[in-house]
Amino acid sequence: MEIGPNSLLIVELPAYGTFLPFKVIDVTNMPYDELDYSPLPITTSTSLGYFTPTVPPGAPLTAPQTGVLPPMSYTASPVRFPLQNAFDPSDMFYFESPNNKLMVIELFVQPKFIRVMPEIPIGNIVASYENTIFNIGGSIQVNVGDFTGLASTGFKRGYSLVVQLPKVHYGYLFGNDTSLTVYTSGKIRYYDLRVAAPSSSEVLDAFKGKVKEVEFISLPMPTTETVISNVLNTYYGTTGVPFAAVNQSQIANFIKPLADKIGGV
């Protein structure tokens, strides 16, 4: 993925039925966008769960070493990425200002088979259908968005991509559903963006496929969250443009409060 100045970033919020359109003014950290973060912030106090029906005999209930995941284990509670001297040393991605700052964060995990699932905000697992069990045709059951199931889905392996909103802590769950005890590590690629409100015609063109440089990134929170709603209203003056607002004047109405908060182009 490449995000450059003058491109569009459409942040989709399915829980709200809305999207937030942004025009990228600058990527302030280019080309120094990569950070080796090793090992993953799994510590000896990180409690573990197991994909197996019962905890295997002798299996540790916390990580045996920093960054280590035993066979069939996952982090039972979400982890953050600490970094000394960051705005919040317990969470390097957390920021509060300026209003027109956004971060897009890609996480590449080694080994690549490690399950990765973000939580937005922390404690709220990302999935379209959290903990929903679909009974397909009365015969097959699939756990959708339930990270802890051996046969669950809703996670990515070795990768995650999120848009970091201001004043929100995100969490990450990691899982190892192999028979190996693995050392984990990660590489972070982040885009430190300065954004503005785009024009309504640009937004419409993006949905028509007429804009070349546009990224659509969804934050698939299963439910609306007070923390997120507060941030959206405080920082952007709106919870987003409803997906139903399909014509230019309607989109313009919703973009206006956004432009008032972060500036428009």
Partner 1 sequence: MKGNLVTLAGLTNNTTGSVILTGQFSLQGVTTITVPQGMKLKIYRFAASGNAINAQLLFTPNINASSPTWYPLDQITMTAAGDDIHEYRARPIVVYGELGTEAITVQYSQPSVGGTLISVVTELTEQDDKEE
Nearest residue (CB) to partner 1, 39 versus 264:
39
CA distance 111 to 185: 7
Closer to partner 1 by Cβ: residue 112 or 210: 112
Report the distance separating Cα 136 and Cα 149, nearest Å: 17
- 3 state DSSP class of 128: coil
CB of 2 to partner 1, least distance (A): 19
Size of the site for partner 1 (CB under 8 A): 21
- Dist. CA 125–CA 222, nearest whole Å: 8
Which of 45, 54, 85, 179 lies at the binding interface for partner 1 (CB under 8 A)? 179
Shortest distance, CB of residue 48 to partner 1, whole angstroms?
14
Please report, for residues 21, 104, 130, 158, the alpha-carbon distance to residue 16 in angstroms, rounded to integers and kept in the order given: 14, 20, 15, 28
For residue 76, the cross-strand partners are none
Q: Which one among 14, 49, 111, 242 touches partner 1, defined by CB under 8 A?
A: 111
Residue closer to partner 1, measured from CB, 87 or 159: 159
Backbone angles phi, psi at 44, to 5 degrees: -70, -5
Residue with tokens 């029906």: 53
CB of 238 to partner 1, least distance (A): 36
Stretch that binds partner 1, among 138-146, 182-190, 203-211, 227-235 (CB under 8 A): 182-190
Binding-residue pattern over the window 157 to 176 for partner 1, x denoting contact by CB under 8 A: xxx-----------------
Instruction: Figure out which of the listed residues 86, 182, 188, 259 binds partner 1, where binding follows CB under 8 A.
Output: 182
Whether 70 and 48 have beta carbons less than 8 Å apart is answered as yes
Question: What are the backbone angles phi and psi of residue 26, rounded to the nearest 5°?
Answer: -155, 150
Check the CA dihedral 227-228-229-233 and report its sign. positive
Shortest Å distance, C-beta 16 to partner 1: 30
Report the site for partner 1 in 114-153 (rule: CB under 8 A). 150-151
| Cβ at position 156, least distance to partner 1 in Å | 9
178 binds partner 1 (CB under 8 A): yes
Pairing of strands 214-218, 8-13: parallel
Binders of partner 1 in range 59-78 (CB under 8 A):
64-65, 68, 71
Contact status, residue 124 vs residue 226, Cβ threshold 8 Å: no
Q: Which DSSP helix (H) or strand (E) runs through 18?
A: strand 18-27
Contact footprint for partner 1 (CB under 8 A): 64-65, 68, 71, 110-113, 150-151, 157-159, 177-184
